[in-house]
Structure formats: structure tokens, C-alpha cells
Structure 1
């Protein structure tokens, strides 16, 4: 049975719950874009989407006030944050346009559909319907979802959604307008007009900015301050951080893997996060391309992260306020776990070899700094060592020194560590950094102390001992102690020769004279003999290696 359509009234309906915002600032380009989307189209759908607190509602409010002053269109404003509030708003529309009320609770759905038909019918005239805070994906997922089935379509009117979810905007077939950052001048003007803390305490914008930038802890304290906004729902949170908490809760409920990924991102450096740091993070499901794209798509849809393309590679970025909010949102236990997970991911993927340092190192270093800051976790020491080697390899010797010294401190403080081979390596690399920094005398002492300790436990021909001897010789040469440096090098080559002769003898007995590994040892011994100036013997060894390899090739050909 069709509901009777009331006759069109000459006076336009104005169902707007908020007064006009007299301090509204800027956003002219977005307002013009919205007007352009609605003009010349029989029925249009527009979505203002972006982070919570970005000003979506205020833009929609200014838009409808401008339109109502310029034309005779009806304006209806409904809250979309749940079916109950939506239904209440639709019933108020029915009262204004004098539709007969529902006869019973069982007729509620039919009644809401009747209101939709009124919008679509011939007597509704020109109208704008704002659905504010349409954030729950499930309510707007398809034509038969709880709220979406009551939204008018037809050939007339403009529907404007304000939403944190790009998915809602997409599934409702909207022309999308992203509400991002304000221009600097507009932001400063709005900031001075609206921020309660500044008004109530007499704080100037410059002083507030200084406090905000001083440290993350002070920023969190400021952003937790309550503000008053009469153009908000009565149960909406009234702090900057609180607006983000609402979004985090919604993502946790709708897609837990996306929430887990967001919590991981919070502990990286917020800029230039390489995609592999997320897709290879080890979190459940993230190694599956489909699940990863769904999770990162959810975060992109809520404008919590943004993408940046560089040389055909994808990077992600997190706004500082989002990062601070996440760190306030998470309980202490989850903070500790999140930091440890992020540390493990960066440590596992941090480049280990010189070939990767030039291309991958600069991308990973900011994240390595972020996850190791103030950390005493055992993995911190290992990652710090690789960071030190990276800095040493690219010639950033001051940074290399800092990392190696921190490694040594952490190893000395960590009861689970023994002062072992790895600990000695840290000292050796620190000494090398000192040589490049022009502190050869300090380096000399490090190498002598290490040699004194190692000589008691290792053979003089051990590779570690030989490396230290070489480092000591370099430190002496850098101080102009050339005779002593030459003597140290001579010791190294003598001991290296002895080590290589023993290795060769062993392989000859076990593998045979012409085995490839035996011939490799012949080559190694020839090189050491050359360094010592024993050129005749070195030549003889090289000839033996060459003839042995030729003989091996002939035998292979005969086998075929």
C-alpha cells in the first residue's frame, strides 16, 4: 500500500541541529568542489571523508547554510552513527513533512521506507540530506544493509555523507572529497579562534607551538585537554586524542588484523615506511597478499596512513597526531609488546651486506633509530651493531662510534651475555672507527688490550688474531710509528704463513694433492708469500695451483 504524499510546501524545511559556525575558516576549495559535484546532476552523492577531527562536519554545516541562503532547497540533517540515531532522525523528517506515523513497532522498517519514498517522490522538491558520522562500514556495506537501504536514490536531491571510512564513501557510490590538512595560514587563523586551552590560559599560538614541539610527552598532555564544540553530538568525545580513540576502537572491532598492523606502525619512524617492513613483519596473515591489502586498505580508508610512491616503490606515512594518539591509546603491556615486535622486524630486515647499504640503508636507518630509542632489549644490541657497521661502511664515523659504544655498554649491562667473540668484535670495530676519526692512539690501546686477552685463549694464527694484528699495524702507521707497524705486519704475515701451511698440509692428507679445496689453500699460501716478498716460492705455488686446475679440467673432458 502506497503512503499518501503530502503536498509540497512553499516554505523550505530546515532540519539542521546546529547553528552556523561563525568561526568557520578556510576550506573554500572543498566547498566549491562539493557545489560542483551537486550541480547539473539529478541525484548526487557526496562524501566528505578523512580523519576524526579534520573538520568534515563543519564543512558540511557551512555548505548547507550557504546553499540554504542561496536557494530554496530543503535541508535535513541526520546522524548516521548507528541505526537507532538514524531512525530517530528519519522520524523527525517525517514529522516535518507531515507523513503519517508508524502504527506499531513492527511497522518501523516500512515507515522508514515510506520516508525514503517521500524523498524520491514528486512532492519533495529540491533537497539536501546530510548523514553525519556515517563511519560504520557494516551499516552502509550494500543496498540491503541496516542504514543504506533507507537512503533515498531516485532522480533528485543531494546526499552528503561525513565519514571516516573511505569504504563507506566508495560503496555508497559517492563523489569523494578528502578532508586533509588545512593550509598553513587558515590553520593558524582557526587555531587562534578555537582552541580552548589557549583562550582560557592566555597562551599565544607561538608559545603553544613551542610546548607542543618540546617533547612527545608534553604534546600528549596538551592534546588530552578537553575542548568545547557545540556543533557535535552530545556523546562525542571532546579531546583531540579522544577523536582518534573512537577510530581505533572501530578498526579493532571491524578488522583486527588492520588494528594489529596499525599498532606495529606506531613504533616505526612515522615517515617513509617501506612496504616490505609491513608485508614481511611476521604478523598473522600479513604474508598473504590479499589479507595484507585488505588490512592496509582499511587503514588507508580511515585516513590513518597515507601512501607515497618513490622509484616505483610504495612507502607509507603516519601523521604525528595519529602516532601520539596510538601510543596513548595502548595499555602498557601492549606498548611493551609492540615496541619489541617492531624492534624484531627492523632487526631482521636491516641490511647486512655492503651491497645493500647504499640503496636500502638510508630507508631503514630512521626506523632503526625509532625502535632502538631508549631500548635495552637484547635485540637492540644486535641491531645497533649492524647500524654501526652500516655507518662505518658509508663513512659516517661519528655515528659508527656511537653505535659501537652503545653495543659495548649494553653487553656489559646484560647479564645473559658472555664476553665472547661477538663482544670482542664490537671493540675491534670501535677501534676501526677511532682510526678513521683520527684517534689512532685510542685505537692502538683497544687493539693491544684485545690482543693481550685473545693471545691467552686463541692460537696466534687464528683469523681473529690476525685481523687484530692488521688493525694494530694500521693504528701505529697512522701515528707515524712506521718501524713498529712494519714489525707488527711482519708478525702477522709470518703467523699467517704458518696457518696457511698447516691448512694445506691437512687438506693434502685428507683430500689429496689435486682436490679443488686443496688448490684453494695453495692459492691462499701463494698470496701470503707474495706479501712477504717471497716471490719465487709464491710463483711456484701459483704454478702448482694452475697446473692442478688444468689437470682437473682434462679429466672432466675425458669422462665425457
Structure 2
């Protein structure tokens, strides 16, 4: 069972919907003549409990039919969808899951719908929810009915209200008074769709009211917690690593001790969980309900603080997102939806913000390049290159790295002339700025040699590759990964030239060294080993 959320011990009711779900999917003990369906969708207003119903069904099925595999797939966006499928492939050890070029969606897939509407809670279900959360079975029905009616029988709003009541030890009637005293104009504004937030950004008044009351309390009680909610509202709302919050705190309070850091972060997240603004999954990542995210974003617009927290979010993700390669592939995939979320903001393209944006674009492009998504890699690398040119200058080391990676995207698409032009530019500039034997210069020479080899220009490729290999051995050492890469490149050029014996001897040496230095499962090791087997 691969489900990111723990079972909700406080779930109850919804028996008619659960029975309908079991019946339609063929797991009802009283299954009649109707043929079970392979797919059933749950639909309804935000906050009515669709996710909780799905979780209740999943855990019921796990207990009832322990031999059945259950996989939870987040489908809020393409990145999250792919990440879920990649996780399934890895956990189930599906052959080929670690191949960066494989279509993971097709890999997992190769191993008529009737929707069920989820309505609002009944008065009885709402009363039971409040009594369970408040741990008081003696609450009069008229009080629970008063609050549930006031909050439109919306489970998410009721949960937030109950959390506030419990946290502040106030009565239900006192909480209803607070609702009545709310700024009705602010409630109306934050409930309406915001063009800057998205067309589908309307939120129920009940949820907006409870959000405002709780958020104002959090601002007074723990200002850092309110900042955290504002920050994470601009990320993807699912699977937000706690490390993001820690990184944000460290940059906001650079002189504080590590003990204070841990205490502040734990307290802030605990406060947000206590008020039902966020939840925590099995992997200690943070989830935020879509409606909570929407109201928080609209509050930032209302207060004129969107650009401020968009900058914080960008700097946080840029600071943490690793450069895409084999060793970082899992972290890159995990963080990718959050990177996409902050990159959608176009208000950060100059100065420090522009540099952070360019760095994130560069690292995301490297991951897309590693995973064979050439068009996406080109798009992100081109923007990173243009930003770095504008801010840092044409000859800056970071700019040259982005240009070199952009050339790699062209080369992988067979656009040889465009790749060669950029690679010559980078190589010559690095020779002038860094020297002919600098590792970055050698990398640019190797890239240009690859472009020559792909065009069948064997002698030009060989000349550069011999120079790169010999210099790398001297400067970096015979076992350095870059030296081993240069050996493999030269071996492939010799093979293309028909020098089979020389190519085989060199690739054998390379394969043995890679197995020792990188490990037997590294893609470079596997690539050179495959060459040895094919050429022998």
C-alpha cells in the first residue's frame, strides 16, 4: 500500500457514500448483478471531504482485502503526477524505473466512469464531527446545529472552527459571535475570485470566515507561523518538505542557534496544524488544502504582500533545488512541482531575485536535460542564459555554464550548427579567462568534441578528446569522473573511426575504473559496461 497519508481516526459518517463506493468498485459484500466498475470519481465542492472519504475507503479496503495493492497518485499537476508514478515504479522495483530516458507513465501503465457526488454534511454528521474533535459528547445539539448551519455544513470550515474553539477554550456560542463580528467586506472580497490568483479561485464564505478568525489569532500568537503559511501558499500545495521552512527560517534569522531553529520551526508548524491549516503526511511533508491555499494567496493580494513572499519562496527553492544529475535525480523530481510553482511568478527578474531565478532555472533545466526532456530543458536554460547575460554579463562563469548547457540541449536535438557555435564561444572565452587546462575549459572542449563526433567529424573530435583526456589525467587524476568520461568519449570516437581494438581496450579500462569509483549501478558504469559487451 503506497498512500502518503495516515488513516484519519476522527473520520466517521458518510456511510451511504462509502457503501456506494464499495458497491460500484465491486467490494460490497452484498454485490448484486451489477458489473463492478474499474473507475469511479468523487466530485463536489472544495472542503466537503472528498479526500477524507477516499482515504477512509482505501484503509477499509486494505483491512478487508490485504492482498490488494493500493497506490495513491497526486494528479493536481503533471509534475506531481509523474512523481507519483516514479515512486510506484521505484517502490515496486519495476524493471527500467531508474532509466532517465524511460517514459515512467507508460512503464507503470504496462505492468466507462460513474461519478459519486459528495454533498455537504448532514446536521447529524456535522454534530458528530464537532463532538469528536472537541472531545465532548455532551455538547447540546442546538449549539452544534447553530455552528454547522452558520458554516454551511462544510467539513473543512467546521474542522477549522473546532480547532480554534479548542485552542482558545471558548464556547461554540462565543465563536459564532466572533463570526458575526467579522469584517463582512473582507470576507466578501476574499471569497470572490481573484484574477491574479486564478479564475477558479472562488471560496465558500464559511471557509473564508473561519480562515480569517484563525489567521488573525495566529498572527498575534506566532508571527513566524503566519509567515510560514504565507510562504508555503505560493508553493505547490502538496508534499512540501519541512526543509523549505527550515531554510526560510535560517535566512530570516541567520544569527540564531540551531536549537532555536528547530524549536521555532516545530512550534510554527504545530500551530498551523493545530488550527487545521496544514496537515502532515507519512513522510513528514506538509500538505495544504486547496481552499486554504486560495484564501491565503488572496489575503496576500489584499495586503499587497504577494511580491514580498513570492521573492521569499523563489529564494528558498533556488537555495535548495539541486543541480540535475544522476545523484540528485530523486530530490529534483520531488522538488520539481514547487520549482514550477515559484517560477510561474514573473515579478522576479532583476537583481538578487533575478540571480536566484536564473539559478533555479539552470538547475531545473539540468534535471530536464538529464531525464531527456529536451524541449523543457531548452526553454528553461534559454531563460536562465538570458537572465545571467543581462545581470552578470556575457563572460561571467555562471553565464558561460548556462550557455554550455543550452548548447547541450541543441546537441541532443540534433541541432549541430547551433550547438557548435555556442560551444566554440564558451571554449574560447574560458581559455582566455581561465586557461587552457582549467577543468571548465576541458569540459567545454569535450562538449565541442561530442558535437564534432555526432556530425562524423572524427579527426576534429579525436584531436580535442586526446587533449582533454591527457590534461585531465594530469590535472584531475586518472580516476576522476571527468577523466573517465573523457576516456569513454575517445573510445567511442575510435570505434566510429574503425579502430576497434584501441576502442575496446580503452573502454575496458574505463569500465573497470568506473565500477571502482562510481559503483556498479551508476549509469556511466552501466553505459561503459554495455559498450564492452557489445564491442567484444
Structure 1, unpaired ranges of 5+: 1-24, 64-131, 141-147, 152-158, 166-195, 198-207, 228-237, 505-516, 543-560
Structure-1-length-normalised TM-score: 0.50
Q: Structure 1 pair 404/239, CA: closer, same or farther in 2 (3 Å)? A: same
Between the two proteins, the alignment pairs up a number of residues equal to 346
- Inter-partner Cα distance in structure 1 for 2:239 and 2:271: 19
- Inter-partner Cα distance in structure 1 for 2:276 and 2:206: 19
- Inter-partner Cα distance in structure 1 for 2:404 and 2:143: 55
Q: 1:218: how far off?
A: 4.2
Q: Structure 1 pair 355/492, CA: closer, same or farther in 2 (3 Å)? A: closer
Contact 2:324 2:365 in 1 (8 A): no
Q: 1:277: how far off?
A: 2.0
Q: Structure 1 pair 33/269, CA: closer, same or farther in 2 (3 Å)? A: same
1:469 to 430, 437, 445: 445
- Alignment partner, residue 487 of structure 1: 460
- Inter-partner Cα distance in structure 2 for 1:445 and 1:134: 62
- Alignment partner, residue 367 of structure 2: 390
Contact 1:497 1:528 in 2 (8 A): no
- Inter-partner Cα distance in structure 2 for 1:370 and 1:138: 32
Q: 1:356: how far off?
A: 4.5
Contact 1:400 1:433 in 2 (8 A): yes
DSSP 3-state at the match of 2:248:
coil
Of Structure 1 and Structure 2, the greater strand share is in 1
- Inter-partner Cα distance in structure 1 for 2:242 and 2:125: 34
Contact 2:324 2:368 in 1 (8 A): no
Q: 1:56: how far off?
A: 7.7
- Inter-partner Cα distance in structure 2 for 1:422 and 1:384: 12
Structure-2-length-normalised TM-score: 0.52
- Alignment partner, residue 260 of structure 1: 227
- Inter-partner Cα distance in structure 1 for 2:401 and 2:386: 14
| CA RMSD of superposed structures (Å) | 4.9
Alignment of 1:272-351 (within 5 A): 272-282=239-249, 288-309=261-282, 313-330=283-300, 334-351=305-322
Q: 1:252: how far off?
A: 0.4
Residue by residue over 1:211-259, the C-alpha shift from the partner in whole angstroms, topping out at 9 and shown as x without a partner, is 9698625456x56xxx9xxxxxxxxxx7975653333212101222221
- Inter-partner Cα distance in structure 2 for 1:321 and 1:164: 23
Of Structure 1 and Structure 2, the greater helix share is in 2
Q: Structure 1 pair 239/463, CA: closer, same or farther in 2 (3 Å)? A: same
Q: Structure 1 pair 499/434, CA: closer, same or farther in 2 (3 Å)? A: closer
DSSP 3-state at the match of 1:474:
helix
Residue by residue over 1:5-42, the C-alpha shift from the partner in whole angstroms, topping out at 9 and shown as x without a partner, is xxxxxxxxxxxxxxxxxxxx74138538629969xx99
Contact 1:133 1:163 in 2 (8 A): no
1:410 to 383, 387, 391: 387
When Rg is computed on C-alpha atoms for both structures, the one with the higher figure is 1
Q: Structure 1 pair 324/271, CA: closer, same or farther in 2 (3 Å)? A: same
- Inter-partner Cα distance in structure 1 for 2:446 and 2:212: 58
Q: 1:473: how far off?
A: 2.5
Residue by residue over 1:293-326, the C-alpha shift from the partner in whole angstroms, topping out at 9 and shown as x without a partner, is 33222212222222332xxx12222233322322
DSSP 3-state at the match of 1:27:
coil
Contact 1:469 1:488 in 2 (8 A): no
Contact 2:164 2:275 in 1 (8 A): no
Residue by residue over 1:311-369, the C-alpha shift from the partner in whole angstroms, topping out at 9 and shown as x without a partner, is xx122222333223223323666433322222222122223463553322222011111
1:31 to 120, 125, 128: 125
- Alignment partner, residue 67 of structure 1: none
DSSP 3-state at the match of 1:44:
coil
Q: Structure 1 pair 490/256, CA: closer, same or farther in 2 (3 Å)? A: same
Contact 2:237 2:290 in 1 (8 A): yes
- Inter-partner Cα distance in structure 2 for 1:449 and 1:246: 59
